[in-house]
Each structure stands twice: as structure tokens, then as C-alpha cells.
Amino acid sequence: MKQKIHPKYYEDCKIVCACGNSFEIGSTRQEINIEICSKCHPIYTGKEKVLDKAGRVERFKKMLKAKKTKK
């Protein structure tokens, strides 16, 4: 194996989530910041965040109805 071509491997890489959760894994970086993790992701927590209250389907139907009334 060639010397000095491989990145340094850190056994205690700290992963920090935006929610405040942190854990350690092995990586070639010392610290990694992430936006979402298993502690705050809706699929794991069971809590759903509604981003679009009106809904895209309802808006599309409303747009089609408006176009039909113009004809």
C-alpha cells in the first residue's frame, strides 16, 4: 500500500444535528454537522410536520375549475 495517500481516519468523529442530538462514528472528518437525524426526523418520531396547509391537489383543482369557467 502506498504511504501518505490515504486520509486520516478518526475513530471518534462527532456528528452534531441541528436539533442538538450528537453521536460518534468513524470518519475521515473530525466533526460533521447535519440538519436532520433519527431523533428529529418525522419518519422515526411519528410526528408529522405540515408544510403546505392548502395542499397542492386542492390548488390544482381550483386552478382547473377557474379555467373551465373562463371558457
Does residue 13 have a known ligand-binding role? no
Joined together, the cell numbers standing for residue 38 give: 433519527
Does residue 37 have a known ligand-binding role? yes
32 to 16, 23, 25, 29: CA distances (angstroms): 6, 10, 10, 7
Q: What is the residue-wise DSSP string for 41-65?
A: -HHHH-PPPPS-SS-HHHHHHHHHH
Q: Which residues are annotated as a binding site?
A: 17, 19, 37, 40
Q: Which residues are annotated as a binding site for Zn(2+)?
A: 17, 19, 37, 40
